[in-house]
Amino acid sequence: MAMTTSEEESSIPNSFDNKNGFNPQTGIYHSLVQLNEHQKIPSHPNLDIATYVLSHFPPPDKAEKQVAYIDSTTGRRLTYAQLHRSITSLASGLYHGLGLRKGDVVFILSPNSLLYPIICLAALHIGAIITTANPLNTEREIVKQVRDSRATLAISAPEETHKLLPTRVPILLTAKKDGQLSVEELIENCEYIEIPEAKPTQSDVAAILYSSGTTGTSKGVVLTHSNFISVVTLLKWSVDVTNARKDIFLCFIPIFHIYGLAFFGLGLVCTGNTIVLMKKYDFQEMLEAIEKHKVSNIPAVPSVILGLVKYNGGGRHYDLSSLRRVGSGAAPLSKEVIGKFRMKFPRVELRSGYGLTESCGATTLFSSDEEAEARPASSARLLPCFKAKVVDFETGLALPPYKEGELWLKSPTVMKGYLGNEEATAASFDSEGWLKTGDLCYFDDEGYVYIVDRIKELIKHNGYQVAPAELEAILLGHPHILDAAVIPMEDEAAGQIPVAYVVRADDAKLTEDQVIQFVNNKVAPYKKIRRVSFISAIPRSAAGKILRRDLISQSKHQMFSKL
């Protein structure tokens, strides 16, 4: 479905507005940035993502000393030379020792570790297809994904193997345990032997990543080597334009998610940067890692930003002076939270972005902090090689700046489709190959994108559409609210009403009426919060997105219990 690079370039018209990228004749928004000859996405068809990544490692004399990854818990360091040798040794062991072949699917079940990017790149180097899963998933969810993806080998952390037993798929452990074959053993004992089979090409499938399923059934997103080469090329460009080439990055985003895989597993090692890897997100451990390793850059999600804003020290002062940039993705960041972050951390750049699994994690980027500060509610401008439309739900017409509609995308990063689901794939693309994101948005007159909310999550109240994200932003502005989520509740008279779930500060004596009044004084009558439930934590996906389905199910259960 995605356009090739040459098609993308040849289709750029001369008649779009240089200020916002909008062409009124076609209704298409174009990126205002063009890549130069040295930055362009490689067009050679016989190229795979692993070869592309390895080709950008530092030269041998520098690779022996330059650190690629640091384990935040143990302090163990992996240089670029060690990383290269580990990838090629494991690829040889998987191919010659275990018989893994091009097109075979490898299921990876593990938390973040130094081994995770090695496993991904080794499998991709052979031409195998990777599919990743959250270790918190249940046995039922894991069995379903293994069977749906048709995995022929599972690579698992030792503590997770019991969930894989019903699949009867061969299991390779990540770490040594009880004499069972492991990734560590293959890396130590296998020397690289040339892999004779034809290498994967850009058009071959590289990964099947399953969407979080926050608004529906989880689907396998099919991404090609071309998709990943494109997104890594754009990431390399973004590191250059944002002057982040000598940063120390902190990774607590799970690598099984597109955000973690594209950014920390594949992209950043093409730039020569150092990545501090955390096994999983923990707020206190994050602060310790920043202090200990002098972290300068944190790609994060809104819940982490909110945690930093609300953090009051808790009796322990951490030195965060090394921090100079924080990025936010996966979900919109409210204007209120951004304002409070800038007040608390005036020397730290905060930049929001937008992407989705179906676009390989990329779509927009702020190239400077001045841009981000001037437009705090925006998700930045389109990345190079991206086109967009804002489409009216009822008429299907492409809309000009400041008109809200569904965001449609075209770029070389856009997925091939959903695995084995022709109906869902057809519903996600129009006849010309535009990806329908399902996100409500608008562009301003300078080409900046504003994500309003997920269309499926809009609350329909008396014929009006209410965006939960808008109400959540207001709630998070309350000094005694740590986190919040808004969901629809069915109502006989109005159709649906907005209901809030709120996490109070520990010492707060906040009441339902106080929360309702706080919000309702700031919104139009049809947007008013009607009910409030206090909760210990808002359920979120690994990427930080609110799991509204869980809250809706909980709400229905509470209603049923009262009957």
Does this chain's domain 77-225 share its CATH topology with 459-562?
A: no
With cut-offs at 50, 70 and 90, classify the pLDDT of residue 311.
confident
Provide the phi-psi class of 99: left if phi over 0, else alpha when psi is between -120 and 50, else beta: left
The encoded tokens of residue 393 equal 């739900």
- Non-local (6+) Cβ contacts of 391 within 8 A are 397, 398, 399, 405, 406, 408, 436
- Average pLDDT value for residue range 528-545: 86
- Non-local (6+) Cβ contacts of 188 within 8 A are 89
For the beta carbon of residue 78, count every other beta carbon within 10 angstroms: 20
What's the pLDDT at 556? 66
pLDDT tens per residue across span 8-33: 444 444 577 788 999 999 999 999 98
At 124, give phi and psi (nearest 5°): -65, -30
What's the pLDDT at 558? 61
**Single-letter amino acid code for the residue at 95:** Y
Nearest residue to 39 via CA among 489, 315, 384: 384
What's the pLDDT at 79? 97
The percentage of residues in the chain with a pLDDT greater than 90, rounded to a whole number, is: 60
Provide the phi-psi class of 524: left if phi over 0, else alpha when psi is between -120 and 50, else beta: beta
The encoded tokens of residue 138 equal 């249940």
* 399 three-state secondary structure: coil
Q: Are 527 and 535 in contact (CB under 8 A)?
A: no
Strand partners, 410: 387
Domain ranges of the chain: 77-225, 459-562
Asked if residue 221 has pLDDT above 90, the reply is yes
Provide the phi-psi class of 197: left if phi over 0, else alpha when psi is between -120 and 50, else beta: beta
Provide the phi-psi class of 168: left if phi over 0, else alpha when psi is between -120 and 50, else beta: left
What's the pLDDT at 217? 65
Distance CA 129, CA 114 (A): 20
- Average pLDDT value for residue range 552-562: 63
Lowest mean pLDDT among 383-397, 441-455, 465-479: 465-479
Distance CA 438, CA 456 (A): 7
Q: HEC string of 80-110? A: HHHHHHHHHHHHHHHHHHCCCCCCCEEEEEC
**DSSP for residue 267:** I
Distance CA 29, CA 18 (A): 10
CATH of domain 77-225: 3.40.50.980
With cut-offs at 50, 70 and 90, classify the pLDDT of residue 214.
very low
**What is the rounded average pLDDT for all residues in the chain?**
88
Asked if residue 258 has pLDDT above 50, the reply is yes
Q: Are 390 and 376 in contact (CB under 8 A)?
A: no
**Single-letter amino acid code for the residue at 391:** V
Asked if residue 6 has pLDDT above 50, the reply is no
352 burial (CB, 10 Å; 0-12 / 13-18 / 19+) is buried
364 burial (CB, 10 Å; 0-12 / 13-18 / 19+) is buried
Asked if residue 538 has pLDDT above 80, the reply is yes
pLDDT tens per residue across span 457-482: 888 887 777 888 889 888 988 988 98
The encoded tokens of residue 137 equal 């998933």
Q: Interior CA angle at 243 toward 237 and 247, to 5°?
A: 105
Q: Are strands 274-277 and 449-454 parallel, antiparallel or unpaired?
A: unpaired
- Average pLDDT value for residue range 292-306: 89
* 20 three-state secondary structure: coil
Nearest residue to 225 via CA among 62, 50, 440, 43: 50
SS3 content of the chain, % helix, strand, coil (to 5): 35, 25, 45
Q: Are 485 and 548 in contact (CB under 8 A)?
A: yes
Asked if residue 269 has pLDDT above 80, the reply is yes
Sign (positive or negative) of CA dihedral 144, 415, 381, 39: positive
- Average pLDDT value for residue range 373-382: 87
Q: Are 45 and 201 in contact (CB under 8 A)?
A: yes
Architecture of domain 459-562: 2-Layer Sandwich (3.30)
